[in-house]
Amino acid sequence: MALAKLKSDATQARLARLTMPDGLTAARKDALGRVAAMGLSHKRDEYWKYTDPMSLTQADPVPAAVFESDESPLFAGVDSVKIVFVDGVYDADASDDLSCAGVEIDRLVDVAGKDIHWATELYGTLETRGQVPVARPLAALNTAFATDGVVIRATGKAAKPISLVYLHGDDTSDVMLHCVVRVDAGADITLLETGPAAARFNSVLEVDVAEGGAFHHVRTQGRDHERRAVTHCFARIASEGRFKSFTLTANGTMTRNECIIEILGDDVVAHVAGACVGDGDDFHHDDTIFITHDGLRGESRQVFKKVLRNGAVGVFQGKILVKAGAQKTDGYQISQSLLLDDDSQFLAKPELEIYADDVICSHGSTTGAIDEDALFYMQSRGVPRKAATDLLTLAFLAEALEEIDNPALADDLYDRLDSWLARRS
């Protein structure tokens, strides 16, 4: 069957299950128009070659058993403004007061009623910009149908991190949340996201960083083995803005994390990093990054590390686009996988497209096994093979964790990775 027909059938089937929520109507209708025009993603699309989007686009989600974790909640020691969603439904009792010095926080569902102008204007705007040159229909679908989320405006230095906690309690939950963050000139904010959110989760985060603003993002996606997620982060960064995003993924059947960054001003720093650990042939993890340099002296870094075992599959697609005139750009990209056996697989597609002549851009991608010489050296000092393997694995992941500015957050994640490895024989 022709691809267009396949896509429109699948799209119609998906849309038939959805009802457009009230509020933000103009943006939602616009987005619906984009979805209809593009059609939902298909494995024949160029950027879905390595990841079959079927389970993310099909009408109903594949059920996912709720995972009972014996670990304490992540970042429990961090004083934050906690906002809890259970299967996408805001939990007022479990959430903190939505107030914090230096920040204005509201729920997405209140944007229309409270007439929050900046959020109304921004909602869907960065997502729309991010549709060119590569279509991201699942993000447009989210803009059209997201039921809730938060809108955050940092007006100064935020007194605390904002912590979004996504709990999963229903095997068949199918959730779309959409968050919008505006970092005013010179403001500074940290956003934490933790948890699986649903059996199937579609999340969009739009981040607009004004001159000299700083946005820090640290996220983990939950240990539920059967959960599926597609996430998009769209960022636009003005002069001297800083953007840093880190994602830890352990488990999950299907994860596609896209990050689309537009560097519009001069002297911008944008780093996006991730560590993922996967065990088993039902683990598929995909990082798809697109960074556009359209300002002078921009520095971007992509650092992605994956540890894969027992048939797990990791995908990395990373692009750096340097527009004409974006001189003195410094773009760096590294994607590496550590395969703990012969069954696992890493697929990487690094891309550079450069239209300026005075830039430094480098990219590298490696796939490797544990260094047997290092392993023997450690064993010969009395470290058992398993412990030595774990130490080497953590060392491999550490380079990605180093991208996190806040050492306390990084330590927490390091401990989680350590435990994840320790649970495996």
Partner 1 sequence: MLEIKGLEVKLQEEDKQILKGVNLSIGAGEVHAIMGPNGSGKSTTSYVLSGKDGYEVTGGSVTLDGVDVLEMEPEERAAAGLFLAFQYPVEIPGVGNMTFLRTAVNAQRKARGEDEMSAGEFLKVVREKAKALKIDADMLKRPVNVGFSGGEKKRNEILQMAMLEPKMCILDETDSGLDVDAMKLVAEGVNALRSEGRSFLVITHYQRLLDHIKPDVVHIMANGRIVKSGGPELALEVENNGYADILAEVA
Q: Which spans of this chain sit near partner 1 (rule: CB under 8 A)?
A: 371-374, 376-385, 387-388, 391-392, 394-396, 398-399
Q: Would you state the structure tokens that stand for residue 197, as one six-digit string?
A: 């959110």
Q: Which is nearer to partner 1, 347 or 394 (CB)?
A: 394
Q: How far apart are CB 392 and partner 1 at their closest, in Å?
A: 7
Residue 165 main-chain phi, psi, to 5 deg: -110, 120
Tokens of 125: 């705007």
State the minimum distance, in angstroms, from the CB of residue 376 to partner 1: 5
Sign, Cα dihedral of 148, 154, 160, 161:
positive
Please identify, using beta-carbon distances, which residue of 92 and 382 lies nearer to partner 1: 382
Measured from the CB atom, the residue of 145 and 396 that comes closer to partner 1 is 396
Instruction: Calculate ∠ Cα 347-422-69, nearest 5°.
Output: 90
Residue 140 CA, distance from chain mean position: 16
Tell the smallest beta-carbon distance from residue 394 to partner 1 (Å): 8
Q: How far is the CB of 362 from partner 1 (least distance, A)?
A: 19
Amino acid residing at 271: H
Decide whether 380 or 425 has the Cβ nearer to partner 1.
380
Q: Which residues of 338-348 are buried (b: 16+ CB within 10 A; e: fewer)?
A: bbbeeebbbbb
Cis peptide before 73 (omega within 30 of 0): no
Q: Which residues of 41-54 are buried (b: 16+ CB within 10 A; e: fewer)?
A: bbeebebbebbebe
CB of 377 to partner 1, least distance (A): 4
Closest distance to partner 1 from the beta carbon of 19 (Å): 50
Question: Looking at beta carbons only, is 112 or 398 nearer to partner 1?
Answer: 398
Q: What is the CA radius of gyration of the chain?
A: 21
Give the nearer residue to partner 1 in terms of CB position, either 104 or 399: 399
Residue 384: Cβ within 10 Å count: 10
Which of residues 134 and 383 has its CB atom nearest to partner 1 in the complex? 383
Residues in CB range of 84: below 8 A, 6 or more apart: 90, 91, 94, 95, 165, 167
What SS3 class is residue 191?
strand
DSSP 354: E
Cβ distance to partner 1 smaller for residue 282 or 371: 371
Distance of CA 251 to the CA centre of its chain: 15
Q: What is the DSSP string of 258-312?
A: EEEEEE-SSS-EEEEEEEEEEESTT-EEEEEEEEEE-STT-EEEEEEEEEEETT-
**Residue closer to partner 1, measured from CB, 123 or 396:** 396
State the minimum distance, in angstroms, from the CB of residue 46 to partner 1: 35
CA distance 274 to 39: 29
Minimum CB separation of residue 298 from partner 1 in Å reads: 28
Nearest distance from residue 383's CB to partner 1, in Å?
A: 5
Considering the complex, what minimum distance in angstroms separates the CB of residue 389 from partner 1? 12
Q: 414 or 420, CB closer to partner 1?
A: 414
In the bound state with partner 1, the residue whose beta carbon lies nearer, of 17 and 386, is 386
Rounded CA separation 300/214 (Å): 14
User: With b meaning 16 or more CB within 10 Å and e meaning fewer, what string describes 174-205?
Assistant: bbbbbbbbbbbebbbbbbbbbbbbbbbbbbbb
What does DSSP say about strands 150-154 and 162-167: parallel, antiparallel, or unpaired? unpaired
Terminal Cα distance for the chain, rounded:
46
Query: Smallest gap, in angstroms, from Cβ of residue 387 to partner 1?
Result: 7
